[in-house]
Structure 1
Amino acid sequence: MVGFEYAKKSDNASNKNNVLSDAAVINLDHGDPTVFEEYWGKMGDRCTVEIKGWDLMSYFSDANNVCWFMEPGLEDAIRGLHAAVGNAATDERYIVVGTGSTQLCQAAVHALSSIRGSHPVSVLAAAPYYSTYVEETTYLRSEMYKWEGDARSFDKEGPYIELVTSPNNPDGTIREAVVNKPDGKVIYDFAYYWPHYTPITYCPDHDIMLFTFSKISGHAGSRIGWALVKDKEVAKKMVEYIMVNSIGVGKESQMRAAKILNVLTETCRSETESFFEYGREKMKTRWEKLREVVKQSDHIFTLPKYPEAFCNFSGKLMETYPAFAWVGCKEENDLGSLLMKQKVLTRAGNRCGSDKKHVRVSMLCRDDVFSLFLHRLASLATDSLL
């Protein structure tokens, strides 16, 4: 894949000797969360997990649990972290663990559509939406559901499933369901509803809520996500989908995730080692630098503005610092193509149900990559093409 030259050179936080070439292609299309490597490097062996050769050999973790392949320690860690942060209700919920929230979203769409009376069930999301939703709902060409695009223009009758990402990917806005018809179901994707990205203003209590380990702590390689599900039958059908798809989820990843989630819970109230405080300051600094470049571009580029809100977790007013920047161009230009000429790969806005004047830019890369991006964005502002 284009743009992974640097990632191959520097695959972990301990590799300090690699220098990113000024001529390198940088890939800010994906959301690889390497921004938090420094924090975890300072934690030393606190998150180390030892697994013996005879451990974790069975498919089963708890045969009496609806999600029979979920390690009990992971379930406890998930409930404990949500309780500490206050960003999701977990009481009287079934937890379904998956290989990231991507698999869980597919499982939830399958589960909800399989219990509807007629097919195909419409699947939709308000634009700009997470582009992978389109791929997730069209790749298998299922007869049970069909991607219908922008929720704001949806006018069909019959059952539907609305996907709501809040804070939204790609534009960072707080979202609620748009359609609100009696025959609909809603899946809430809360991948970024954590205090280093946005104020925690309430504790969501929806029927299906998705979370992912990768966007909380940055451990994307572990491929762990979870769903909080009210309805037992929906949870069972989601588990059934995952069983057919991958026969469960790797226990080694679950153990690592449980260990790190417990550390997050232990440190989230610490004044000296809180990950969420560290992450918030990291994201704040990046957004301040990006806004300064946009300001100096003589208003050629645009960024969304986010209101301050009181965060129940931190106990103070906070701004939103999304994981992705929704960068616009005031002229009628294909911003993605212009950035590509500067060797910056981004996700084009038309892939998110919007237009080519906008691009989604990952704010989660390493420091040197981010600095090079700012330099190239500033250079583009003076390009004659604009």
Structure 2
Amino acid sequence: MQFMESRQCLQKPSNPFAEPKRCLNCSCRHIRTAHFVVSILLSIHNGGSRLGSLRNKAGSSKVQVKPKNLVKVEMPSATQEINVNETTGSLAMSVDSVINLDRGDPKVYEKFWLENGAAAAVEIPGWQKISYFSDLTNLCWFLEPDFAAEIRRLHRLVGNAVADHGRHIVVGTGSSQLFLASLFALSTAPEVAVACNGRPVPVVSSAPYFSYYPAATDLLKSGLFRWEGDACSFHAGSTPYIEVVCSPRNPDGSARTAIVKSCNGKLIHDLAYYWPQYTAITGAMDEDIMLFTVSKCTGHAGTRLGWALVKDAEVARRMTKFIEVNTIGVSKDSQYRAVRILKAVCDGYELEGAGESAKLFHFGRKVMARRWEKLREVLAANKVFGLMEFKKLHCEFMGKETLPLPAFAWLECGRDIEDCESFLRQKHKVLTRGGKDFGADGKHARVSMLGRDEDFDMFIQRLKAIRL
């Protein structure tokens, strides 16, 4: 947050927590109050605070932070220091805080990397990684060779996708950019363009589908493709279409296959959650376009990096062209960091002497199992919400039968609750994402299981308190 001084504005609105607003009397932007109160609940980890600091220009004295105490601070006169979490930039939780479980922000992995982070540490001298180009001999010229090597190594280790044997790797700024690159590549194929005759290609996915798909597909009102909705109600006919297969599916964690049966369809497989901490690895996927992301694999959402495994060279070339025009490639610094991250993950399983604490997927599975057990216990007791039931499947990576432990809980409200999202938000200060965003009804809501322990534990306590 940045505080900007106003020499002309002396207004002091009644709401001390209001967002900055343009003044009616001048062109400046300022905070709509001269006094404010900040209450910070400090969380302690291993006896020490994991808080960073954000400096603003509104005052001079520092916030005096005492562990495990609430601190009230009046607006000072010079430089003010506000303590926030150094990873997320958010204030620490308090018993009255709004719990944000809307987004799948993978802070659950923070503890693993606190212990194993040294193996993934990077230092980039100022003269390195300056050029746009990584490998001019590669179809995806902005893909760092070391990153491509670690991607292939990771998939060989886990066994969840065919990454060798001539598969092309296209790197993107998260799988979100790769999704759009895939739509562009498939809709601009010569045979598709001829068959559509100037009409946008329909894009479908089975409901409940990831809420990002319709938003991203229609954001720019492209003439190349348009969102058509639920694949279950789509009639392909003789025209081309694109079906997005998300497995395990966001939001409900179920394993999915293509719904529409037609020779005119093109498929995009979103496999962001096909990792052993979330689901059984039943075999190596071998599809035309497969999307993966660092954020849900290792927890590094802020690195903004994903990759696509693509069979067809021309499709990979058009995807590369989209990213070239869109962002002139992908951050080499992010790729360099991802190299170290993926290497640390693989080394944790392949190097002799690596302890149990270095095994990322086992860590993730242990945490997710504990959370799902707690959630099911509470929901069974209060009988307000329903959850999907899953069957055990043999996981080739773990070498045993395992239950799915999805990254999200797909809650269904019972009783007379028609809007699950509003019920949790208004009555219990829990932010979720409503079912209608996913093409489902309002009785459903998606809840992230990927937050920090303190967030999840507070969520469980609030669920326990629900009485109808």
Give the equivalent residue in structure 2 for 1:151.
231
How does 1:123-202 map onto structure 2 within 5 Å?
123-157=203-237, 158-202=239-283
In structure 2, what is the Cα distance between the partners aligned to 1:332 and 1:242?
A: 47
Counterpart position of 1:93: 167
Structure 2 distance, partners of 1:31, 1:277, is: 20
Cα offset, 1:263, TM superposition: 1.0
How far off is 1:378 after superposition? 2.2
Residue 4 of structure 2 corresponds to none
310, 333, 336: which one aligns with 1:255 = 336
Following the alignment from structure 1 to structure 2, what is the Cα–Cα distance between the partners of residues 43 and 208? 32
Cα-to-partner distance string for 1:299-326 (whole Å, 9 max, x where unaligned): 3210101110111001111111000000
8 Å contact kept, 2:85–2:92: no
**Do the aligned partners of residues 111 and 19 (structure 1) sit closer, same or farther apart at CA in structure 2, a change above 3 Å counting?**
closer
Counterpart residue type for residue 274 of structure 1: K
Instruction: Give the aligned partner of residue 369 of structure 1.
Output: 455
- Contact 1:339–1:377 (CA<8 Å) still a contact in 2? no
- Cα offset, 1:377, TM superposition: 1.9
- Report the Cα offset of residue 10 of structure 1: 1.7
Aligned AA (1:151): A
The reply to whether residue 294 of structure 1 matches residue 367 of structure 2 is: no
Q: How does 1:267-346 map to 2 (within 5 A)?
A: 267-268=348-349, 272=356, 273-297=358-382, 299-333=383-417, 334-341=419-426, 342-346=428-432
Residues 332, 121 of structure 1: CA spacing in aligned structure 2 closer, same or farther, 3 A cutoff? farther
Structure-2-length-normalised TM-score: 0.78
2: distance between equivalents of 1:332 and 1:240? 51
The one-character-per-residue Cα deviations of 1:349-370 (angstroms, maximum 9, x if unpaired) are 0100001100000000000000
Fraction of identical pairs, as percent: 49
2:320 counterpart residue number = 239
Q: Distance in 2 between matches of 1:156 and 1:108?
A: 20
Amino acid at match of 2:137: N
Mapped contact 2:144–2:332 kept (Cα < 8 A): yes
* Residues in 2 aligned to 1:268 and 1:331: alpha-carbon distance in whole angstroms: 47
Q: Which structure dedicates a bigger proportion of its chain to helix? A: 1
Mapped partners of 1:376, 1:180: distance in 2 = 44
The 1:205/1:27 distance shift into structure 2, 3 A limit, reads same
C-alpha deviation, 1:374, in angstroms: 1.1
Equivalenced residues, count? 376
Q: Which has the higher contact order (CA 8 A, sep 6+)?
A: 1
The runs of 5 or more residues in structure 1 that have no matched partner are none
Q: Distance in 1 between matches of 2:447 and 2:349?
A: 28
What is the distance in 2 between the residues matched to 1:374 and 1:129?
Answer: 26
Query: How far apart, CA to CA, are the structure 1 residues paired with 2:424 and 2:184?
Result: 37
Deviations 1:164-189 (A, max 9, x none): 11000000000000002110011000
Q: State the one-letter code of the partner of 1:360.
A: R
- For 1:268, what is the secondary structure of its paired residue? helix
> Partner of 1:226: helix, strand, or coil?
strand
* Alpha carbons 1:167, 1:198 under 8 Å: kept: yes
Q: Does 1:217 align with 2:290?
A: no
> Any conservation in 1 of the 2:201–2:224 contact (CA below 8 Å)?
yes
How many angstroms apart in 1 are the aligned matches of 2:87 and 2:320? Answer: 33
Deviations 1:67-114 (A, max 9, x none): 000100000000000001000001211000000000000000111001
For residue 106 of structure 1, the aligned residue among 176, 180, 188 is: 180
Q: Aligned-pair distance for 1:156?
A: 3.7
Larger Rg: 2
Matched, 1:75 2:155: no
Provide the secondary structure at the position in 2 that maps to 1:88: coil
* Alpha-carbon shift at residue 375 of structure 1 (Å): 1.3
C-alpha RMSD of the superposition = 1.8
1:9 shift after superposition: 2.5
Match of 2:85 among 3, 7, 10: 10
Give me the whole-angstrom Cα distance separating, in 2, the residues matched to 1:239 and 1:19. 41
Q: Residue 267 of structure 1: CA displacement?
A: 1.0
User: In structure 2, which of residues 108, 114, 125 is the aligned counterpart of residue 35 of structure 1?
Assistant: 108
What do the CA deviations read for 1:30-49 (whole angstroms, capped 9, x no partner)?
A: 11000010010001421111
